[in-house]
Amino acid sequence: MSDGTPESTPLAATAAAGTGSATASAGADAGSHALSTYPEAPTARFWARLDGPFGVGFLLTLGGLAAVVLGLAISNLVTIIIYIAFALFAALGIDPILKRLERHNVARGWGVTIVFLTFTVAFVGILWLIIPTLVQQITQFVTDFPTTLANFQNSDFFHWLEGIFGTGLSGLLTEAETFLTNPSNIAKIGGGALQVGVSIATGISGLLIVVVLTLYFVVSLEPMKEALARFAPARNRPKVTAMTNEITDSVGDYLMGMVVLAFFNSLVAFTLHLVLGLPFPLLMGVLAFCITIIPLVGPVLYWITASVLAVFTSPIAALIFAICYLVYIQIEAYVITPKVMSKAIEIPGALVVIGALIGGTLLGLLGALVAVPVTASILLIIKQVLIPRQDAKV
Q: What is the pLDDT along the chain (394 residues), one digit of tens a residue?
A: 445 444 444 444 444 444 444 444 444 444 444 444 545 555 555 455 556 677 777 788 888 898 888 888 887 887 888 888 888 888 888 888 888 888 888 888 888 888 888 888 877 877 776 777 767 767 777 777 677 777 777 777 677 777 676 666 666 666 666 666 665 555 555 555 566 566 667 777 888 888 888 888 888 888 888 888 888 888 888 888 888 888 888 777 777 888 888 899 999 999 999 999 888 888 788 888 888 887 777 888 899 989 988 887 888 888 999 999 999 998 888 888 777 766 666 666 677 777 777 877 777 766 777 777 778 778 878 887 788 888 888 7
Query: Using CA atoms, how far apart are residues 271 and 277, in angstroms rounded to an integer?
Result: 10
Return the closest-CA partner of residue 119 out of 209, 252, 211: 211
Do 160 and 311 contact (CB within 8 A), yes or no? Answer: no
Note the Cα 201 to chain centre separation in Å: 25
Q: With 0-12 CB in 10 A as exposed, 13-18 as middle and 19+ as buried, what is 105?
A: exposed
Return the closest-CA partner of residue 299 out of 347, 263, 254: 263
Query: Using CA atoms, how far apart are residues 283 and 281, in angstroms rounded to an integer?
Result: 6
Query: 388 by DSSP, 3-state: which?
Result: helix
Note the Cα 206 to chain centre separation in Å: 18
Query: Using CA atoms, how far apart are residues 257 and 353, in angstroms rounded to an integer?
Result: 17
Q: How far apart are the first and last CA of the chain?
A: 70
Do 281 and 274 contact (CB within 8 A), yes or no? Answer: yes
Residue 243's contacts (CB-CB under 8 Å, 6 or more residues apart) are 380, 381, 384, 385
Query: Using CA atoms, how far apart are residues 226 and 240, in angstroms rounded to an integer?
Result: 10
Largest CA distance in the chain: 139
Query: Using CA atoms, how far apart are residues 255 and 94, in angstroms rounded to an integer?
Result: 9
Query: Using CA atoms, how far apart are residues 105 and 98, in angstroms rounded to an integer?
Result: 11
DSSP state of 117: H
Return the closest-CA partner of residue 88 out of 247, 201, 203: 247
pTM of structure = 0.61
Return the closest-CA partner of residue 273 out of 282, 286, 265: 282
Give φ, ψ of 10 to 5 degrees. -65, 160
Residue 154: CB atoms within 10 A of its CB come to 9
